[in-house]
Structure 1
Amino acid sequence: MKRYSLYVWMVATAVVFLSCKKEDKLDTSHFQGKWSERADDRVAMDGSVTYIFNSDNTCSKHIYNALSNQDTTLKWTYVLSHDRTLVTMYGTDKVYTEQYRIKKLTSREMKWENASPGDGNSNKRLIR
């Protein structure tokens, strides 16, 4: 009976272990470059938002408002956290502007979760 109980425990442990989804690894080598914000299916964007991340930790955010036909470009610096899962952006005056947890990062898609609720920023899906 002890042997049967041990066998059942081992099988149950194996099933639980194998059924757990592995965390997606973030390949931060894809971080730099040009990314376009993509709205989800429930939201329509009247324009576009594009981020460009450079190797010298500078970035720009280009916002085009189609309703007013107005372009705005913001110049920032960015910092990736030590574990490279958090991006924080600062304006030219060194004041914090936005901060996101990087939830997914591939060569074609990046998903951000707002790390500072209440600051007016929302989660973002960026594509190339």
Structure 2
Amino acid sequence: MAGEESIQRLSKPCILSDTFAFNVLIGRRWPSREEDLREAATICRELGLGPLLDRMPGGLMQRVGETGWRLSHGERSRVYLARALLQGAELVILDESFASLDPETQKQALECAMKRAPTLMVIAHP
């Protein structure tokens, strides 16, 4: 199927016991380059994760997951969103990605996604 190689799928989002950077840069080249880390930091801050990154002693290189830093449900949702945006797909489909966010954070995350995704489909259930 034409264009299929640009489709990135992760059936069940998860946080792996590795660095924050690794978790948001899944789907990109690894090890990451300096420009990847800069873009990841920029997108995470646009998604409202700046205070989290500032609190973590290792910043982007802080280990997270089962044995590392604890992330709230809303923080996890924004990590998944950052991951999707950083993959560079032509179409990003978000299914209930904003459900665990408060209205202000939801607005901030949606604005970031609309700015960053070439084509964006948002699925929300009432």
The structure where strand makes up a greater share of residues is: 1
Larger Rg: 1
Name which structure has the greater RCO, CA cutoff 8 Å, separation 6+: 2
Same fold flag (TM > 0.5):
no
Q: TM-score, normalised by structure 2?
A: 0.29
Q: TM-score, normalised by structure 1?
A: 0.28
